[in-house]
Amino acid sequence: MKGLVGWSVVLALFILVIGCGGGGGGGSSTGTTSSTGTTSGGTHSPQVTLYLQPSNQMLNPQNLVVGDQAQMDITARNSSNNLVVIPVSGWTTTAPSSVATVTSGGLLTAIGASTTTYAVSVTYQGATYTSSLLVSAPQDFVTGAVDDIDDGQTIPIEYAIVDFYNASGAQVGSAYTARDGTFRASVPATATQFTLDMSVADPGGVTYYPQFTYGPSSNPQAYLEGVSCLAALPGPLSSTTPTALASSIVPPLRTSGPPPPPTGCLK
């Protein structure tokens, strides 16, 4: 896993944990991670993370599909703001075995689809870390990332929501970004458009304007969050090979001043 260090140095780094960048997070804490990723101390570090096997792609536990097998860990950020893995044992889940199972070492297997959200948790150094878990039926896959671009630096944004729509403007899917800012969405083949929802990552719109840019760096287009200004998905979609977005989705920082008017709306 890129940027992850061995267990031999994790304990030393854990002492230096700081809050993650993006989404307006900050500070350090231990506590219980909720379905929205906040801890009892009000921060995003450390927390539950999940890596799809064997690719090691980071996933949000609410974006699992039947057949996924993933490794669950606790991750924190060191003094350089890089993610480090803290392997722990004793994982449990409230999901029935017909939906998902998890070993004590954190190997989670998604078995059956369910509209019910369950929990997966572990206790480490006296704190319990819990994340919501949702398993859906596999459809076509779309991958991408939501990033904060500040002074040329790319900072991943976690808990951003990417919503998907069909040509008629009906919502047909949704995905949360993981801690590294990436997402993998399972959507029907009818999905043709998408938008960004920062209500969980940035409550109240304190850090970002309700807008985003998307497209090639030579000609990125501006869009408004919400169904009134949708961006086009690349196509056709596939159930075997994920369709990658052409670029990161980037919400504009309020500190950078008002963004330009939308230019790429499909409707």
pLDDT tens-digit profile, the chain (267 residues): 333 333 333 333 333 333 333 333 322 222 334 333 333 333 347 889 999 999 999 999 999 999 999 999 999 888 877 888 988 999 999 999 999 999 999 999 999 999 999 999 999 989 999 999 999 999 999 999 999 988 778 889 999 999 999 999 999 999 999 999 999 999 999 999 999 999 999 999 999 999 999 998 888 999 999 999 999 999 899 988 999 999 999 999 999 899 889 998 876
**Is 2 within the bounds of a domain?**
no
**Is 104 within the bounds of a domain?**
yes
Query: ω before 54 within 30° of 0 (cis)?
Result: yes
Q: What pLDDT score was predicted for residue 160?
A: 97
Boundary of a domain, candidates 107, 136, 165: 136
**Residues with Cβ within 8 Å of residue 109, at least 6 apart in sequence:** 68, 69, 100, 101, 102
Q: Are residues 146 and 34 in the same domain?
A: no
Residue 84: phi, psi to the nearest 5? -130, 145
**Is 265 within the bounds of a domain?**
no
**Is 73 within the bounds of a domain?**
yes
**Is 124 within the bounds of a domain?**
yes
Torsion 87-88-93-98 (CA) sign: positive
Boundary of a domain, candidates 104, 136, 168: 136
Rama region for 105: left / alpha / beta (φ>0; ψ in -120 to 50; rest): alpha
Q: Are residues 80 and 170 in the same domain?
A: no
Q: What pLDDT score was predicted for residue 260?
A: 87
Q: Are residues 76 and 155 in the same domain?
A: no
Structure tokens at 260: 């330009």
Q: Are residues 150 and 210 in the same domain?
A: yes
Q: Which residue has the tokens 């506590």?
A: 31
| CA distance between the termini of the chain | 40
Q: Are residues 99 and 144 in the same domain?
A: no
Q: Are residues 88 and 21 in the same domain?
A: yes
Structure tokens at 210: 């309700």
Boundary of a domain, candidates 78, 105, 136: 136
* Total number of domains constituting the chain: 2
Range of the domain at 118: 7-136
**Residues with Cβ within 8 Å of residue 162, at least 6 apart in sequence:** 144, 146, 174, 175, 177, 183, 185, 194, 195, 196, 197, 249
Between β-strands 100-102 and 69-77, what pairing exists: parallel, antiparallel or unpaired? Answer: unpaired
DSSP class of 14: H
Q: Domain containing 223 — which CATH number?
A: 2.60.40.1120
Q: What pLDDT score was predicted for residue 153?
A: 84
